[in-house]
Structure 1
Amino acid sequence: MHLNYQLQDKVIIVTGGGSGMGRDASLALARAGARVVIGNRSARVGADLVEEIVAAGGQAQFRVTDVTRPADCEALVALAIEKYGRLDAAFNNAGLQREFNDLHETPLEDFSDVIDINLKGMLYMMKYEIAAMLKTGGGAIVNNASIFGLKAMPKTAYYIAAKHGIVGATRAAALDYATRNIRVNAICPGPIKTPSFDRVTGGDDHMYDDGVPMHRIGQTREISAAVLWLLSEHSSYVTGATLSVDGGMSAE
């Protein structure tokens, strides 16, 4: 049975929308009738995605966005307001991971890049998204954390810190706005088939099977289904939650 997410004409921002989970979510939201406002660092990738959405009968806008720059985050929200008059929801998905290293051997620039994009970028986006939502009666936000926002892994202390920070900030923001009709939740994906996953595995889809109770990696559509549910009124009593979409890994 097809689930009607009731997102017709909702204005929804997606950061990191050009590839992987963000791209799939942008397409799924457009198919559900939402007006999607995409932020991504690559102008070509963003323009191509908008063209694909529009060709399929959907509505979308794009702006080159570097979430480490507060002005870019503010401008992406402003684009949604300019084009559609409001902001109803957001999927703060932009993220980055660098090389695996022991903490004492991790380059300083990796600390800055990963925390600036994953954690501070999400905070900047929420700052401006929430301000816009408060003006029009509320909304819903989903932040992309990771299973590593809930547990740890060797040689990624900087990344684990950023993802745990996303989970903590999500919970705190949910409390701040619980009585102001803004819901804030996080998804915690396990290994998902994306271009960044392929770079790590060399395209081996089964490299991590033994570490997943379901003995397979996830697909981007499975993340999009969780995002759409959390952004819809079907989850109207859910806020401050972390939804694990990880094949059972967080249960171990």
Structure 2
Amino acid sequence: MSENFTAPEPPAAGSGATAPEGFAGRTALITGGGSGIGRAVALRLARAGAAVVVTGRDPRKLEKTAAEITAEGGRALAFAADVTSPDAVAASVRAAVDTFGGLHLAVNNAAVPGPKGITGEFPPEEFARVIATNLTGVFNCLHHELPAIVASGGGAVVNVGSILSVKVLPGSPAYTTAKHGMIGLTKTSALEYAPLGVRINAIGPGFVDTEFLVDFDDEAKRYFRDLHPAGRFGTPEEVAELTAFLLSDRASFAYGGFYPVDGGYAAA
């Protein structure tokens, strides 16, 4: 990268929050809503008028997100649920419908990173754990969300993949496999539910400045940052903007797509 290149500054958190997507009267369920991208999406949708249900494994984080929303005059419900449990996911969807009268939007964002290791040495139990959350968990969510969205009159879903949905990172076989698989699931379900009034798409964030980067040392952060031609990591708010667009009626002809939000990583 040229030494004279200066990366543009990311937008401030909450910028664009008054954009007229028309989410008033709609309910959104966001998995992994207690922090990072999920939290940013929840705040973004709530600020645009949606009632928001945030789910995840840590009730304290969920309650904090919900409290931020209600403090701004929005409507939110925190519901502890692990996406690896079909029963827990079903309960979270029922809670959304019972509390707010329906379900119209969903963002399947919950994910775990998994350890590093080449395929022949990767612990099988860790492979199964990552797949259970990052791929089977998305299926569990779609399985219960989609009938509820159809029953509510239709809507939209965004599955949060990764740049590793289309790129490969050696030493990360479970995460890469799960995120690649999510794209197939997104496309299949998009074709199935298009006639039923539900749009389903996926996004592919590059490396985003969230708690996923906590374990990276400075050298690793520099390495991964420089994979992005933008010259920096993304922000959760930038991912939330694309998510909000795809959920909105402004994206009414977008079905079964994969949309990178990656600072140019996939194009490099």
TM-score tier, shorter chain, comes to: over 0.9
Taking the TM superposition and a 5 Å limit, the aligned residue runs for 1:101-120 are: 101-120=117-136
Structure 1 residue 8: deviation in Å?
A: 1.6
Q: 1:125 maps to which residue?
A: 141
The Cα shift of 1:199 comes to: 2.5
Out of 173, 176, 181, which is 2:197 matched to? 181
Show structure 2 runs of 5+ residues with no match: 1-15
Q: Secondary structure at the match of 2:136?
A: helix
Number of equivalences? 252
Following the alignment from structure 1 to structure 2, what is the Cα–Cα distance between the partners of residues 221 and 201?
Answer: 24
CA distance 1:121–1:47, shift in 2 (3 Å): same
Distance 2:235 2:213 in 1: 11
Could you tell me how far 1:201 is from its partner in structure 2?
4.1
Q: CA deviation at 1:3?
A: 2.8
Q: What is the TM-score normalised by the length of structure 1? A: 0.96
Distance (Å, rounded) in 2 between the aligned partners of 1:53 and 1:68: 26
- Could you tell me how far apart the structure 2 residues matched to 1:98 and 1:117 are? 10
The amino acid of 2:114's aligned partner reads R
Q: Tell me, what secondary structure is at the counterpart of 1:13?
A: strand
Match of 2:69?
53
Change (3 A) 1:60 1:212: same
Q: Is the partner of 1:161 in helix, strand or coil?
A: helix
Aligned: 1:248 with 2:264: yes
Partner secondary structure for residue 195 of structure 2 = coil
Corresponding residue number in structure 1 for 2:233: 217
**Could you tell me whether the CA contact under 8 Å between 1:206 and 1:216 is conserved in 2?**
no
Is the Cα–Cα contact under 8 Å of residues 193 and 205 in structure 1 kept in the other structure?
Answer: no
**TM-score under structure 2 length normalisation:** 0.90
- How much has 1:141 moved relative to structure 2? 0.3
Distance 1:51 1:170, change over 3 A: same
Deviation larger for 46-55 or 13-22: 46-55
Q: How does 1:201-240 map to 2 (within 5 A)?
A: 201=217, 206-240=222-256
Q: Which residue of 2 aligns with 1:158?
A: 174
Give SS of 1:249's match. coil
Q: Which residue of 1 aligns with 2:97?
A: 81
CA distance in 1, matches of 2:160, 2:213: 15
TM-fit CA distance, 1:107: 1.2
RMSD: 1.5
Match of 2:88 among 72, 94, 105: 72
Contact residue 187 and residue 256 of structure 2 kept, 8 A = yes
Which residue of the partner structure matches residue 145 of structure 1? 161
Shift of 1:150: 0.7
Quote the offset at 1:54 in angstroms: 0.7
**2:157–2:199 CA contact under 8 A, matched in 1:** yes
Distance of 2:100 and 2:19 partners within structure 1: 25
Q: Which residue of 2 aligns with 1:62?
A: 78
Equivalent pairs: percent with the same residue? 37
TM-fit CA distance, 1:205:
5.6
Inter-CA distance 41–202: structure 2 relative to 1 (3 Å threshold): farther
- 1:110–1:202 Cα change, 3 Å: farther
Letter aligned with residue 240 of structure 1: G
Task: Give the secondary-structure state (helix, strand or coil) at the position aligned to 2:30.
Answer: strand
Aligned position for 1:34: 50
Counterpart Cα distance in 2 of 1:202 and 1:44:
29
Question: Separation in 1 of the partners of 2:219 and 2:47?
Answer: 28
